[in-house]
Amino acid sequence: MPTLIWIFLLALLASIAFTGLLRRYALAASLLDIPNARSSHSLPTPRGGGVAIVVVFLLGNLILFQCGLLSSAALWAFLGAGAWIAVVGFIDDHQHIPARWRLLAHFIGAAWGLFWLGLPTLSLFGMELTTLGYVLAAFYLVWLLNLYNFMDGIDGLASIEAISVCAGGVLLLVFGTEMAGQRDGLILLMMAVAGFLLWNFPPAKIFMGDAGSGFLGITLGLFSLQAAYQSPPLFYSWLILLGVFIVDATWTLIRRFLRGEKVYEAHRSHAYQFASRHYSSHKTVTLAVAAINTCWLLPIALWVGLGDLNPLLGLMMAYVPLWLLAVHFKAGLAE
């Protein structure tokens, strides 16, 4: 345990330092996010700071593996899929990749992760998922990856979400049958994101960029599938923990699609974006999401994870209020 504490502390400090270096590089190279009509910020801001999260987490995984705290399958799943998605996002940050090729790259990353992790025994409405399960799991990972990108639109939000979800994942393991390798990985990711958050908390001094947001999306998705190996209800618990992002992004996508809009184009019609403009504050919305995750979604996720609440009923209890909030803040409506 003392060794682990030092690893986590080192990860936090490395993330803080590396993010600062990336900010200096972005300023020197004029890698700035310039505000436009679809932006939620008003000042040019350096981007690409999420690379620090990627590097610190993946190097930390190598250390955990060397210490015998991470399996080779998990190492290759997170290392291969995470690095691949981060590289694709980094290129897209600097030179736009057409949507169809970007989507293909996302499915390749998802397939790699599933190849190494395999597919846990899951059922949907009483039906066991086999080959169809792999297809659904791939779409699930790609959707999480992209929705995380969509939801990374105001200061601190994507970071707070990742920290909240990871903390919830750790508590699920603590109160259930603990899975040390996943616990250590979740804490490692929390430290990597926390170091970045010191630079990204409102008002942000640097943005995450597609490299970081896409990486977080697929990594959290892989963690959720890994947890399902231990206990199928934990998968539903993870869906609950990710509820704010899943509901806002999905409902917004559906409404934009039904209006005939190009859903892959940038916009400002997510609920969190309308809310940040309504309150004229990124901090208010980001802290509100942290409160929802902690006070509402986490207790329901634990209830389901402990086997005391039907998973589908738990999802409904968690998602219906979130959907009502999304409707209230006009998610998916044209500005």
pLDDT of residue 133: 76
Q: b/e for 116-145, b at 16 or more Cβ within 10 A?
A: bbebbebeeeeeebeeebbeebbebbbbbb
Give the pLDDT confidence score for residue 146 in this predicted structure: 95
List the domain boundaries for the chain. Answer: 2-31+46-242
Specify the pLDDT at position 215: 98
Residue 127 dihedral angles phi and psi, to the nearest 5°? -100, 130
Amino acid 32: pLDDT: 83
Question: CA-to-CA distance for 298 and 118, rounded, in angstroms?
Answer: 27
DSSP, residue by residue, 73-121: HHHHHHHHHHHHHHHHHHHHHHSPPPHHHHHHHHHHHHHHHHHHH----
Structure tokens at 46: 């350096």
Q: DSSP assignment, residue 127?
A: E
User: What is the pLDDT, as a whole number, of residue 232?
Assistant: 81
Residue with tokens 């699930």: 140
| pLDDT by position in tens, the chain (length 335) | 668 999 999 999 999 999 999 999 999 988 887 765 555 666 788 989 999 999 999 999 999 999 988 999 999 999 999 999 999 999 988 888 898 999 999 999 999 999 998 776 665 555 555 667 788 889 999 999 999 999 998 999 999 999 999 999 999 988 876 666 789 999 999 999 999 999 999 999 999 999 999 999 999 999 999 888 878 889 999 999 999 999 999 999 999 988 878 777 778 899 999 999 999 999 999 999 999 999 999 999 999 999 899 999 999 999 999 999 999 999 988 77
Rg (CA), the chain: 19
Considering the entire predicted model, what is its pTM? 0.94
